[in-house]
Amino acid sequence: MKHNTFTGIACLALMTALPASAGTLKGTVKSEDGKAMAGVMVRVTDDASGISEAVFTDAKGKFKLETDLHGKLHVRLRTPYYRDVENDVELGEKATLKQSYVMPAMTTAEEISESLPAAYHFGNLPFETSADAVFSHYQFQRDCLTCHQLGNSFTRRARPAEDWQITIERMHSYLGNFDAELRARRSALLAQGFNGKPIPARPVFPLDPALSHAKIYEYRMEDGVLPHDAEVSHNDGLVYTTDQFAEHMAITDLKTGQTSYYSIPDDGTPEGGRFAELGLPTILGPSLKHGPHSLAMGPDGKWYTTNSIATAIGVFNPETRQWEKAHKIGGKSLYPHTIRFDKEGIAWFTLAFSEQIGRLDPKTGKFDIIDLPYVKPGGVAAGTTPYGIDVSPKDGAIWYSRLFGDKIGKIDPKTLAVTEYDTPVKGPRRLRFDKQGMLWLTGFSEGMLARIDPDGFKVKVYTMPEFAPGYRPAPYALGVHPETQDVWVNEIMTDRIFRFLPKEERFVIYPIPLTGTYTREVSFTKDGKACMSNNPSPVEALEGGVSELICIDAEAM
C-alpha cells in the first residue's frame, strides 16, 4: 500500500543539553488550516540498528519521543486521510530537537482508497448472501484470511479470473478441497471485487486518549521469511521467534535490536517432511522440511517447538543455542500447531491436519495422541483444524478450539476424556486463561471476543469495534497481561492491535506503523510490553518488505 509523501518543514530546530541519557524529539503537528492534530503517529527509524520507535500526538497536537536512538534518524508522520510527512534529523545522545510539522490532506478517491487497510478492500468483495452460502463474508473470512491478508496492496491487484485460478487451487488444496467448480466461482468473485477501482469505504478510526501514553517499538528481522510465534524469555529477557519458512529460531535482543538466527540442522527429514514420508501432497512449499510454528518453554528451560511440516516437537536449548534431537510424532498425526505446558511439565499441542490433540512427556519422550470426535467442517475445509490450546490454572484441564468446526473442547488430563461445546463465537482461533481461570477466546470469522467461565460454561461475548459498518475485524490470537489482566488481541486486517480492558469492558485501539501488518502470538516482557511478530505471507506484502518484531508499551509516558 503506497502513501504519498510530503517533506515536512521543520519550523524550529533547537539543540540543548539534557541531564538524562536519552535524546528527545518533540514538537507539534497541525493540518494545513492550522488546527492541532491528535493521534498522529510520529515514528523515528535508525537504519543502523534496524529499530524504529513511535509515539502519538495528544489532543493539542503535541508529541514527545524520548529515545536512546541517536545520530541520523528518519522521521515519518502518519494518520488516516492525510499524506505522510517525512524528513531526516540529526539527534544527539543528550539533546532535545524541536520540530513543527504540517500535514496535507489526501484529495483524490484513488489515494484515499490506496491508503486504506486490507479489511476495506476485502470487505468490498461481492460476497454471497444466502443463509447457506459457501462464499458468505463469514465463510470467506475464515477460509481465506487464516494464514495471510487478502486485500492488501500485494493481493488486491486487478487480474482476470483465470489468473486467480492458480492461487485458489493452491489455497483450496491447503484446506483439503479439490472441487473445481468452487475454485472457479471463488476466482470469479475475486476478479469482480478486486478490479482496480477506488473503494467507497471511509472507516472512522477512534482516537483513545490512551494513545498519547503509548510507545511502539519495531525491530527489523532482515533474515526473516515467515517469523511466526514470538515468546519473551523471562530467564534472559530475549525474544525467541520460530520462522516457519526459514526454518530457524530467531533470537532478538530488545536493547540493541540485533537478531541472531539458528537454523535447524539436517536430521534426515526429507523435503516435504512427514507429508512426503506418507506420500501426501506437500504444503507451504515442497522444499520445507520442518516448518517450526509455535513454541513454549519447558520446565527444563528449553524451548519446545511445533515443527509443523516434519510433524515433530523440536527442542532448542537457549544456553547452547543449539537445536537438539526432535521428538517425532509418527502415526497418522499431521501438522502440530500450538503448544503449551501444564504444571506437571507435560507439553500439550494441537494437531491441525489430523483432528487430534497430543501430549508429550519430555523426560521420557512418550506421546499420547487423542482422537477428537467427528465434527462436520464449515466453509470449503475438509477438516475442522484443531487450533489454539491452553491449560486451566484452576484444575489443569486442557482447552482447545477447532477453527473450521465452530467447537471448543476440554480434556481431562488424567482420564483424557473429551468434552466438546458449541463455540459462542464463529471461527474460534487461539485462546488463553487469565489468573482467575476465565477463558478468553477470539472469534475470527465475525470479529468477536468471548469470556468463558468453564464452571458451568457461562459465556459473555464482546463485539469488537468496526470502523465502517459491515466491515468486521479479524482477530487472530490474544494474550492476557500477567499484571493488569488486560486482553491484547492482534487483529490482522486493519493494521491495528486491540487491547480489551475487562474492568471497563471497552477496547483501546493501537495503530501499527506499517501497512500490511499481520501479527501472531502475543507475549509480554517483564516490564509489561506486549510483543508479537509481524509477518504477512509473503513478506513482500508488508510495507518495506522486511519482517519485524513489534512491542507496544501502553504506559510509556
Residue 537 · residue 152 · CB < 8 Å: no
**Which of 2.60.40.10, 2.40.160.20, 3.90.79.10, 3.90.1640.30 is the CATH number of 5-109?**
2.60.40.10
Q: Provide the pLDDT confidence category of residue 9 given band limits of 50, 70 and 90.
A: very low
**H helix or E strand, kind and range, residue 164:** helix 161-174
Rounded Cα distance between 510 and 408, Å, is 29
When pLDDT is cut at 50, 70 and 90, the band that residue 157 belongs to is very high
Q: What is the residue-averaged pLDDT of the chain?
A: 94
Residue type, 165: Q
Confidence tier at 16 by pLDDT (50, 70, 90): very low
- Integer Cα distance of 21 and 416 in angstroms: 56
Tens-digit pLDDT profile for residues 506-534: 999 999 999 999 999 999 999 999 999 99
Q: What is the pLDDT of residues 303-343, one digit of tens each?
A: 999 999 999 999 999 999 999 999 999 999 999 999 999 99
The arithmetic mean of pLDDT across residues 233-250, rounded, is 97
pLDDT attached to residue 171: 82
Tell me what pLDDT residue 405 has.
Answer: 97
Given a cut of 60, is residue 40 above it in pLDDT? yes
Q: How far apart are CA 429 and CA 292, in angstroms?
A: 19
Task: Read off the pLDDT of residues 168-199 as tens digits, 9 standing for 90 and up.
Answer: 988 888 788 888 899 999 999 999 999 999 99
* pLDDT for position 286: 84
pLDDT of 138 strictly over 50: yes
CB 443 within 8 A of CB 451: no
Whether the predicted pLDDT of 132 surpasses 90: no
pLDDT of residue 6: 36
Q: Is 224 helix (H, G, I), strand (E, B) or coil?
A: coil
Place of cell 470426535: 373
As a whole-number percent, the residues of the chain with pLDDT over 70 amount to: 96
Let me know: does 397 contact 439? Beta carbons within 8 Å: no
Q: Please determine, for residue 15, whether its predicted confidence score (pLDDT) is greater than 60.
A: no
C-alpha cell at 233: 524469555
pLDDT digits (tens, 9 = 90+) for 70-106: 999 999 999 999 999 999 999 999 999 999 999 999 9
- Please report, rounded to a whole number, the percentage of residues in the chain having pLDDT higher than 90: 89
Q: Which of 416, 502, 399, 492 is nearest to 460 (CA)?
A: 502
Domain boundaries, the chain: 5-109
Per-residue confidence (pLDDT) for residue 13, from 0 to 100 = 36
Grid cell at residue 473: 475485524
Q: What is the pLDDT of residue 8?
A: 40
The pLDDT of residue 21 is 63
Over range 217-231, report the average pLDDT: 97
Element of type H or E holding 111: helix 109-115
- The tens digit of pLDDT for each residue in 539-554 reads 999 999 999 999 999 9
Mean pLDDT over 218-233 rounds to 97
Residue 86 pLDDT: 97
Is pLDDT above 60 for 225? Answer: yes
Distance CA 65, CA 475 (A): 30
Q: What is the pLDDT of residues 252-271, one digit of tens each?
A: 999 999 999 999 999 999 99
For position 18, what pLDDT does the model report?
35
Residue 140: CA count within 13 A, CB half-sphere: 26
Return the residue matching grid coordinates 502519538.
56
Question: What pLDDT digit, counting tens, does each position of 66-80 carry?
Answer: 999 999 999 999 999
Does the global pTM surpass 0.85? yes
